[in-house]
Amino acid sequence: MLVFAEPLRPHIHARLQAGGAVIRVINYGRGVVHYYRELRKLVKAFSITAAHIVFFDYFSALPWIARLCGIRGVIYEMQNSGELHARSWKKALLRLRTWVMTYPTARVIAISEFVKKQLVTAGVPEDKIVVRYLGVNTERFRPDPQARRQWADRFSVRPDELILSTVSYLRPFKHPEVLVRTCRELAARRIPARLFVAGDGDMLSDLKRLGEQLGVADRICWLGNVAEPKALLQASDIFLLASVGEAFGLVLAEAMACGVPIVGSRSGSLTEVVEEERTGLLAPPHDAAGFADSIEHLAQDGRLRQEMGHRAVERVRQNFTVDRDVERTLDMYALLGG
């Protein structure tokens, strides 16, 4: 059974139902008591014995709600990005709150070693935590030799221009402003490149204004929200991500699966997903000049980009596939059953 806060889009609903899922809607925003009552009805009606909680904060009341509803096995999965900066008494209170709120959980899934460290710092007992990376559908995300030419024709990209891309919701921890400033650095070094940004968010208008102020508006194409970014990834010469405190960065693995080398921040999970100097290059966080250095290095060596792209595909297929993700998740479910 899958429980969501709101009704799904019809095609997603149909796809999940075809896979055997029973789908219900309970909105946590209507209050803890409402959620408890509605979930308890489902537990009784379907004899639910295990719950896998995703997309909630680790300090939410949901593990306790599930336990009070009679669910014996509770798994919480942490997918939230960000860094913890609490100190002294605030850190002590944070750890106490975390310990209390996660007490009913049998296992806590961290989607990277970085997330595991954050959870331990926040107060989750280390012996409860299992690291399980997210998985990419490598049948869907794969290299396409024709994609770059098609994209270049569509957007009038010159033969000497690099196609740079990023795919993310435009919010502060993603630091997209670093990529705009990177374009300014590349322009000053006379490195021909076009940045395609797939994503929307509150920062968009300010980012466009920054591009104009820096004189690089013609070097950036704002695509808005792109429901299917595969074609952009396959067409890219280099994929960029400037996040600080990224939990996993599934789009990194998707880009790598498409045979694209990465330039990203040396922060969060990026040091785990990207094998530095083999599948991409990492720069100091917030450092536009450092990003430009890495891009310039790859711009001057097409063979290196190609080699990194090949190694990126292999790295994803060995470490970050949907099958591997599902297998590890089922192993945890089996332990709950035992």
Residue pair 312/279 in contact (Cβ under 8 Å)? The answer is yes
Sheet holding 238-241, edge to edge: 220-224, 193-198, 162-167, 238-241, 262-265, 280-283
Do 285 and 254 fall within a single domain? yes
Whether 338 has a pLDDT exceeding 80, the answer reads no
Mean of per-residue pLDDT scores for the chain: 94
Q: What is the pLDDT of residues 123-175, one digit of tens each?
A: 999 999 999 999 999 999 999 999 999 999 999 999 999 999 999 999 999 99
Q: Quick one: pLDDT band at residue 321, thresholds 50, 70, 90?
A: very high
Question: For tokens 């609903």, what's the residue?
Answer: 13
| 237 occurs within a structural domain | yes
Q: What is the pLDDT of residues 218-265, one digit of tens each?
A: 999 999 999 899 999 999 999 999 999 999 999 999 999 999 999 999
Do 64 and 124 fall within a single domain? yes
Do 124 and 196 fall within a single domain? no
Please state the rounded mean pLDDT for residues 196-208.
96
pLDDT value at position 238? Answer: 98
Do 268 and 199 fall within a single domain? yes
Whether 177 has a pLDDT exceeding 70, the answer reads yes
| 301 occurs within a structural domain | yes
Do 190 and 176 fall within a single domain? yes
The total number of residues shown for the chain amounts to: 338
* Residue type at position 332: M
Percent of the chain with pLDDT over 90: 88
| 142 occurs within a structural domain | no
Indicate the number of domains in the chain: 2
Do 94 and 204 fall within a single domain? no
Do 22 and 114 fall within a single domain? yes
Q: What is the pLDDT of residues 292-318, one digit of tens each?
A: 999 999 999 999 999 999 999 999 999
- Pair of tokens at residue 146: 């024709």
pLDDT value at position 284? Answer: 97
Do 116 and 211 fall within a single domain? no
Do 155 and 89 fall within a single domain? no
Do 274 and 156 fall within a single domain? yes
| 141 occurs within a structural domain | no
The residue segments making up the domain with residue 260 are 147-319
Please state the rounded mean pLDDT for residues 25-49.
95
In this prediction the pTM is 0.92
Q: Is the dihedral of CA 26, 137, 126, 330 positive or negative?
A: positive
Do 178 and 165 fall within a single domain? yes
Residue pair 257/316 in contact (Cβ under 8 Å)? The answer is yes
* Residue 61 burial (10 A CB sphere; 0-12, 13-18, 19+): middle
Please state the rounded mean pLDDT for residues 200-207.
95
- The full 3-state SS of the chain, as one line of letters, equals CEEECCCCCHHHHHHHHHCCCCEEECCHHHCHHHHHHHHHHHHHHHCCCEEEECCCCCCCCHHHHHHHCCCCEEEEEECCCCCCCCCHHHHHHHHHHHHHHHCCCCEEEECCHHHHHHHHHHCCCHHHEEECCCCECCCCCCCCCCHHHHHHHHHCCCCCCEEEEEECCCCHHHCHHHHHHHHHHHHHCCCCEEEEEECCCCCHHHHHHHHHHCCCHHHEEEEECCCCCHHHHHHCCEEEECCCCCCCCHHHHHHHHCCCCEEEECCCCHHHHCCECCCEEEECCCCHHHHHHHHHHHHCCHHHHHHHHHHHHHHHHHHCEHHHHHHHHHHHHHHHHC
Cα angle value 204/207/212 (rounded, 5°): 130
Do 14 and 120 fall within a single domain? yes
| 115 occurs within a structural domain | yes
